Amino acid sequence: MLLNLARRLARAAIALAALLAAASVAQAQDKVLRYSFRIAETGFDPAQISDLYSRIVASNIFDAPLEFEFLARPVRVRPNTAVALPEIAPDYRTFTIRLRPGIYFDDDPAFKGRKRELTAHDYVYSYKRHYDPRWKSPNLYVLENSKILGLSELRQEALRNKKPFDYDREVEGLRALDRYTFQIKLAEPNPRFVYNLADPSFLGAVAREVVEFYGDKIMEHPVGTGPFRLAQWKRSSRMVLEKNPNYRDEFYDEAPPANDAYAREIAAQLRGRKLPMVDRVEIYIVEENQPRWLAFLNGEHDIIEEVPTDFANLALPNNELAPNLRKRAIRMVRYARADVSVSYFAMEHPIVGGYTPEKVALRRAIGLAVDLDQEIRLVRKNQAVPAQSPIAPGVWGYDPEFRSEMSEFNRAKAKALLDMYGYVDRDGDGWREMPDGAPLVLEYSTQPDQQSRQLNELWKKNMDAIGVRIEFKHAKWPEQLKASRAGKLMMWGVGWSAAAPDGDTFLALGYGGNKGQANHARFDLPAFNKAYEAQRVLPDGPERMALMTEAKKLMIAYMPYKVHVHRIWTDLAHPWVVGYHRNVFKRDFWKLVDIDPQELKRRVD
């Protein structure tokens, strides 16, 4: 008996080993897209995230009704979970969206074994979540500025009565008309509201059962209808996404412009392929430039987004792909980001904030002392251009001919401003004091990565040259973000990227109603607010452009933000990556990229 038992156990062990070996082979044959983020994620709940890297991941898990076409230029939107583009009233105040039946969420214990279909009620619920005080949505300002009828009042009632937000109360501005149709009504015209409906990391559909099942842990449990699902997550270290087995039948069908030969080649090669084409996506957090660059060179990562500036001269001499990389058939994709890199001043801070002439003079003097030429040459290795205003290239409202003090470097002028308004060295120690004699010490929040350290060195050099002391407050990026939203930082250097091709995204940084959300500086100037609100309701045209110009001039004059540069990114992809391109407004592009296993094996072996 014992002998028979031993034999059975042996056979079982052999069978198990064979099964594991087969699984290992199958896994080895999976097509995996591997690359890195240089800043850690914060989580994956559309109602709670605002940082770029969390939004990239969420965009590939959740579905918005619309999406940006990947290769189309100029940029345009098309239906995603919707059957067609929204029906828009002539006054741009009513939007009716009809959904495609038969779209399903990824399986999850919250559904208790049911196959859960996406409905109009899911979008209504998901949009309402941004108004729920519980979630402290950093993107609420976008919907508040759009003035959806009845939702702000519902939020205020919850705050006033200190009761849970009433999701079940129907409001005029956001209703499900039937199982597959929902309607949005605004108090004011918003000709560009449809762009919001193409952002899955903001207005992607979340199921109510999932939110209620996971509660405060919802940031860790994203469950969507998109092409991928979160399979593994080691916070601030590694994320693994895998194909969503419930993803609907979608096929590659992109329309490239006639003047982009590479895009046309991609479109022809991949047309008709079922999406997503890769089985998994692995993302690693690699904050330092050298290991991130080496991981790409060694073939450990398939793509490197934004070649690290430390290696730009090696990889991109004269902004051309280096011959050694060209020999390896590495593909270069170079593009201007629709973004700004800024340093903000906390407008409510007793040292750098305020609207009186001496406070404005201090901020403008600090801005004039920033040597952008050195920043671009020495730190950014010519992968950026000086910013003239807060509005970035690639969006409506950007004027390439506009010039301003924002890019001016003039230490003599900076010193004269400081002298004129009483920021002088009273005790002879070589450092300036406040007009009332109190210490003048800037506190600049920063991160512990190499590029931040290099930028800090330039800040120190620039401020030393005008006699202003500066100290640096180091913390990880997610910690700085949390403190910034709470208004606890004096100064911080961050980037701001557009999710849609419109300059309102950048003017929102200065709108008083956005304090603590987009407006980290907490700038609140009535004249600016008036111009901002007026441009928001107008269709694109000369009248709107004039108001946007007025608004950006006010931001330049009062200097709540020192806008440094607009970045130019160069991405590199190994030859086994098929279909890699960039659309700066489309973060949900992983489904449109493939891996060629034979090419990978040939190149790596």
Note the pLDDT of residue 187: 97
Write the pLDDT tens digit of every residue in 446-504.
999 889 999 999 999 999 999 999 999 999 988 999 999 999 999 999 999 999 999 99
In this predicted structure, what is the pLDDT of residue 2?
38
Q: What is the pLDDT of residue 603?
A: 82
pLDDT at residue 423 in the model: 98
User: How does residue 508 score in pLDDT terms, banded at 50, 70 and 90?
Assistant: very high
pLDDT tens digits for range 56-70: 999 999 999 999 999
**Residue-wise pLDDT tens digits, 157-169:** 999 999 999 999 9
Q: What pLDDT, on a 0 to 100 scale, did the predictor assign at position 305?
A: 93
**In the predicted model, what is the mean pLDDT of the chain?**
94
pTM of the model as a whole: 0.87
What is the pLDDT confidence band of residue 7, given thresholds at 50, 70 and 90?
very low
Number of H helices, E strands in the chain: 20, 20
pLDDT above 80: residue 3: no
Cβ neighbours of residue 310 closer than 8 Å, sequence gap 6 or more: 289, 290, 293, 381, 450, 451
Closest CA to 366 of 420, 437, 414, 421: 414
> What is the 3 state secondary structure string of 8-56?
HHHHHHHHHHHHHHHHHHHHHHCCEEEEEECCCCCCCCCCCCCCHHHHH
20-24, 210-214, 238-242, 331-335: the lowest-pLDDT one:
20-24
Q: Could you tell me which of 249, 253, 229 has the C-alpha nearest to residue 241?
A: 229
User: What are the pLDDT digits (tens) for 35-47?
Assistant: 999 999 999 999 9
Which domains, and CATH codes, for the chain?
Answer: 43-225 (3.90.76.10), 339-568 (3.10.105.10)
- Model pLDDT for residues 418-433, shown as the tens digit of each residue: 999 999 999 999 999 9
pLDDT at 310: 87
Is the pLDDT assigned to residue 27 strictly greater than 80? no
- For residue 29, is pLDDT > 90? no
pLDDT of residue 570: 95
pLDDT on residue 269: 97
Instruction: Round to whole Å and give the CA distance between 333 and 551.
Output: 34
> In the prediction, which pLDDT does 18 show?
38
Taking only the tens place, the pLDDT of each residue in 381-397 is 999 999 999 999 999 99
* SS3 track for 342-408: EEEECCCCCCCCCCCHHHHHHHHHHHHCCCHHHHHHHHCCCCEEECCCCCCCCCECCCCCCCCHHHC
331-336/94-98 β-pairing: unpaired
Q: What is the pLDDT of residues 283-298, one digit of tens each?
A: 999 999 999 999 999 9
Question: What was the pLDDT predicted at 575?
Answer: 97
Q: Given this model, what pLDDT does residue 230 score?
A: 98
